[in-house]
Structure 1
């Protein structure tokens, strides 16, 4: 047990180093530079450039250090907070390593971009004289790449937490008996609240942009993102799961998306324990290693079907033991028929 938990502790410590402390240090350095130079800045500075690299959006100079803190530190910390609970429970997987590297890269990207564009406007007579943004963007992307790669290799290699599967014991089903097993599964409350909150926040931003006369393209982009999130929420918050003579059926309560694994395509069925972050990198319709695709709405028990092609289909659902056992019984009965 101790041998197993030592790598978990190392993974946790290294994750905190790259996803929390590195963004804190980078952001602190960037903000410190900006605050030192603040007295030398024009009252308003360029904060947005068009596709040609010319400044076309402006804001008070004091807002840049604040933006650096919010985006350069706040976003990486949000990534860290979604991953730390699982790591503290001893969970492992390449997804956690990727999240740590992403947090570090994002902090470097934002901090370098905002600090560089701030510094290059020092001593200008006005914000309209701001130089092109391309050097700052190139430097920011290079810094993000370096930070992300370094953060990836600073963390220990984490093997996937794919659960070992044991073929379910078939239920007793007679030759002519008609059977049906059904359940409805909903996404865990925390993930559902996060999705709904994201929809509301982005919709509010879109309305605010429209009300303040922002560029139409920005309003349409925000509305498009809000609608996509709304569609995602509506179609993935709850699913019906059914096992019958034709196989395994999994469908959203709205009717789409729907998935069907025919009985003839099933090699075996098993009840497994699923960790969404460690195995699938999150919740919803997810791909994983080992040719696995899952309808993953929460942690815990799930039915895993091994298809004859070698692909695996996973759906988290209550009473997965019974569902998997019935599938095994139906597969065996179909195979025994002439």
Structure 2
């Protein structure tokens, strides 16, 4: 009976996530696109698609592109969230982060769909795109819709017990009295993730250089330059780490030396090998915070060492052969306790 109840609840978590992250965005986009297509004969052949900070239209596009962009953005982002979260949910992983990702997918779809649709509707009957009214009404409606749909999507999903709350510590390695042991591994971001970061850095850097060369607004040029530098620092400090377990504890250091993380042996309550889904559990890759007082050096999907600290906080690092690292850490903690 218990197994059947657990299975039913597990299935319900996945079904509700799919409902709010996939089917709800499909419904919202379908309604938005249908409204726009119905009004297509009534709007100018070219419509406003971008407004200045003062709310005045400054960029335009063919009217038929608006329903297309609504479908692309209204479905694209939610489906990306769903595709990156569902594998973890189907493996049995649970936690508030998955619930939040479902709500975020629905809210994002509502935000983009309402913004595109209302701004399109407001241009029906105009003589030209230059007569487009301010965009603030569309933005206000989009934000309100996103908040309403996001909260509703959160409560449509059942509460999820985080799997890491019940994970058992690793079995300690057998160490002889006085034996010294060290475990060392390199942890690196996946090739796809590294390429994505490098492409992002290069893209922003090229945009920054172009903004200076073409005499763009100084504020924009400085902003792009600042973002490029921040991305460069992020890439240099998070693409690869050295992970070490020894009789002083767990060390996780960037290959550049900064940032560095150290969990002293005296601060370790337990260590375990866990499976990590970056998007579902941490909302992405890199240095990440999550629910359950977790902080992670999350470079890829897969195995990781998770350390429970005396404060109740958890430190996670994704690395190959995590089971051995966790087992050695448990053995060192156990031996330290015996000596004391």
Once the two structures are superposed, residues 19-60 of structure 1 have per-residue CA deviations (whole angstroms, 9 ceiling, x without a partner) of 112211211221222122222222322222222222222222
1:65 aligns with 2:67: yes
CA distance in 2, matches of 1:40, 1:178: 79
Task: Label 1:110 to 1:269 Cα distance change in 2 as closer, same or farther (>3 A).
Answer: same
- Which residue of the other structure, out of 229, 234, 237, is the alignment partner of 2:236? 234
Q: CA deviation at 1:259?
A: 0.6
TM-score by length of 2: 0.84
Aligned equivalent of 2:53: 51
Task: Label 1:29 to 1:304 Cα distance change in 2 as closer, same or farther (>3 A).
Answer: closer
CA distance in 1, matches of 2:59, 2:324: 60
Structure 2: runs of 5+ lacking an equivalent: none
CA distance in 1, matches of 2:234, 2:81: 20
**Greater CA drift, 107-116 or 237-246:** 237-246
Aligned equivalent of 2:320: 318
Aligned equivalent of 2:102: 100
Residues 203-222 of structure 1: pairs in structure 2 closer than 5 A:
221=223
Contact kept? 1:5, 1:90, Cα under 8 Å: no
CA distance in 1, matches of 2:81, 2:207: 21
CA distance in 1, matches of 2:205, 2:4: 48
TM-score by length of 1: 0.85
Task: Label 1:156 to 1:235 Cα distance change in 2 as closer, same or farther (>3 A).
Answer: same
* Helix, strand or coil at the partner of 1:3: helix
CA distance in 2, matches of 1:295, 1:166: 20
Residues 1-338 of structure 1: pairs in structure 2 closer than 5 A:
1-162=3-164, 163-166=166-169, 168-169=171-172, 171-175=174-178, 178-189=180-191, 191-196=193-198, 198-199=200-201, 221=223, 224-225=226-227, 227-266=229-268, 268-277=269-278, 278-331=280-333
CA distance in 2, matches of 1:276, 1:190: 15
CA distance in 1, matches of 2:217, 2:301: 42
Contact kept? 1:269, 1:303, Cα under 8 Å: no
Q: CA deviation at 1:168?
A: 4.3
Contact kept? 1:109, 1:140, Cα under 8 Å: yes
Once the two structures are superposed, residues 131-165 of structure 1 have per-residue CA deviations (whole angstroms, 9 ceiling, x without a partner) of 12111111111111111111111122212121513
RMSD: 3.0
Q: CA deviation at 1:235?
A: 2.4
CA distance in 2, matches of 1:222, 1:71: 24
Contact kept? 2:187, 2:243, Cα under 8 Å: yes
Task: Label 1:148 to 1:180 Cα distance change in 2 as closer, same or farther (>3 A).
Answer: same
Contact kept? 2:187, 2:318, Cα under 8 Å: yes
Q: CA deviation at 1:194?
A: 4.8
Q: CA deviation at 1:242?
A: 1.2
Task: Label 1:119 to 1:328 Cα distance change in 2 as closer, same or farther (>3 A).
Answer: closer
Task: Label 1:253 to 1:98 Cα distance change in 2 as closer, same or farther (>3 A).
Answer: same
Once the two structures are superposed, residues 258-308 of structure 1 have per-residue CA deviations (whole angstroms, 9 ceiling, x without a partner) of 111233433x34232133345434433222333222223334443333333
Contact kept? 2:276, 2:304, Cα under 8 Å: no
**Greater CA drift, 202-211 or 37-46:** 202-211
* Helix, strand or coil at the partner of 1:159: coil
